[in-house]
């Protein structure tokens, strides 16, 4: 008998999806789904997402960046593109997903967003099924799907992080960035059972500074959250990065030998070497979490009485 999954988000009037259906439309696949997230805004999350995508493409990988930053979506600005359509048009049935995805001159595929993404948390059964069918056409198309999430600990931030199979939390030396990054991991671990996070330390003067910040975070998380942190890398302060932003181009393209670009390349190397522990297809997990929530996971969350 097929297990069933409850819909994610607002459950008012929701029906149930069978895992058999989700498995059928996402059979196989080796796509890795990464979320680039942060507890605090302005830490360079979107810059890292776009430049990481460019670095992975340069390695011969096929990459889709999903701009999930809702009304503040700005990947199009950083990449110097002007989307004619967004995922909102797909939700409303006006366009196919293939009509919305943009290919940049660098070879990165972008799924533009808008305030319409908020509707993903409250779709009808018909809308969710249509979106699953649209997304299933991407199965095996990409090596990586990178989700550029909003910042903070809102429901949408949690929503998109749970859709990813690997979470990359971006922090800066600023104390507020540190505490907000911890708050995000606390919510995801205590309320939703996330056990592992990857850390990138941005805007540092040296690797030693980045390692020190990571070690402090690791000590706090080991003591209070019992989660595993992995040091993924760091990004140096670099005026070339600001210059690239002003020119609306990725720094890895405009200034490939800059300090920031070398850090991005190193980060892409590390990511490619990491072997995901989750044996389930990253793409299948993406759809399971984005459009339906596994029964086992529901039971875990409902039985978890821990407070924040």
Number of domains in the chain: 1
Average of pLDDT values for 100-129?
78
**85 or 231, higher pLDDT:** 231
Domain that holds residue 175: 30-284
pTM score: 0.84
- Residue 29 contacts residue 139 (beta carbons within 8 Å): yes
**279 or 161, higher pLDDT:** 161
160 three-class SS: helix
Q: Residue 7: inside a domain, yes or no?
A: no
Q: Residue 153: inside a domain, yes or no?
A: yes
Q: Is pLDDT of 150 > 80?
A: yes
Confidence band of 62 (pLDDT split at 50, 70, 90): very high
Cα 60 from Cα 128, distance rounded (Å): 32
Q: Residue 97: inside a domain, yes or no?
A: yes
Cα 236 from Cα 229, distance rounded (Å): 21
pLDDT at 9: 36
CATH of the domain at 194: 3.40.50.300
46 three-class SS: helix
Cα–Cα nearest to 68, from 136, 152, 128: 152
**Please, what is the Cα angle at 89 between 77 and 286, to 5 degrees?**
80
Model pLDDT for residues 195-242, shown as the tens digit of each residue: 999 999 999 999 999 999 999 999 999 999 989 999 999 999 999 999
Confidence band of 292 (pLDDT split at 50, 70, 90): low
Q: Is pLDDT of 122 > 90?
A: no
Q: Residue 115: inside a domain, yes or no?
A: yes
Q: Find where tokens 């540190």 sit.
A: 178
Q: Residue 21: inside a domain, yes or no?
A: no
Share of the chain above pLDDT 90, in %: 52
**Please, what is the Cα angle at 228 between 226 and 232, to 5 degrees?**
150
Q: What is the DSSP letter of 208?
A: H
Q: Residue 292: inside a domain, yes or no?
A: no
Q: Residue 290: inside a domain, yes or no?
A: no
Q: Residue 197: inside a domain, yes or no?
A: yes
Q: Find where tokens 């200034």 sit.
A: 255
């Amino acid at each position: 008998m097929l297990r069933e999954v409850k819909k994610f988000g607002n459950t008012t009037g929701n029906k149930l999806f069978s895992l058999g259906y989700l498995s059928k439309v996402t059979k196989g696949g080796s796509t890795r789904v990464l979320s680039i997230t942060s507890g605090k805004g302005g830490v360079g999350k979107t810059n890292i997402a776009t430049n990481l995508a460019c670095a992975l493409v340069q390695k011969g990988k096929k990459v889709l960046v999903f701009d999930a930053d809702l009304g503040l979506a700005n990947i199009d600005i950083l990449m110097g593109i002007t989307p004619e359509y967004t995922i909102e048009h797909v939700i409303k049935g006006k366009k196919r997903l293939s009509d919305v995805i943009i290919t940049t001159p660098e070879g990165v595929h972008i799924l533009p967003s808008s305030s319409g993404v908020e509707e993903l948390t409250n779709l009808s059964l018909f809308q969710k099924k249509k979106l699953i069918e649209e997304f299933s056409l991407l199965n095996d198309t990409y090596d990586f799907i990178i989700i550029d999430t909003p910042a903070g600990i809102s429901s949408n931030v949690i929503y998109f992080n749970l859709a990813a199979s690997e979470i990359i939390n971006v922090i800066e030396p600023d104390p507020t960035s540190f505490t907000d990054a911890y708050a995000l991991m606390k919510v995801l671990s205590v309320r939703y059972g996330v056990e592992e996070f990857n850390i990138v330390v941005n805007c540092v003067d040296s690797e030693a500074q980045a390692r020190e910040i990571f070690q402090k975070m690791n000590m706090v998380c080991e003591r209070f959250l019992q989660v595993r942190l992995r040091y993924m890398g760091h990004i140096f302060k670099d005026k070339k990065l600001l210059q690239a932003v002003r020119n609306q181009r990725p720094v890895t393209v405009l200034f490939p030998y800059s300090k920031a670009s070398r850090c991005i390349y190193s980060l892409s190397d590390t990511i490619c070497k990491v072997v995901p522990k989750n044996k389930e297809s990253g793409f299948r997990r993406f759809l399971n979490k984005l459009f339906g929530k596994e029964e086992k996971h529901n039971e875990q969350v409902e039985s978890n009485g821990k407070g924040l």
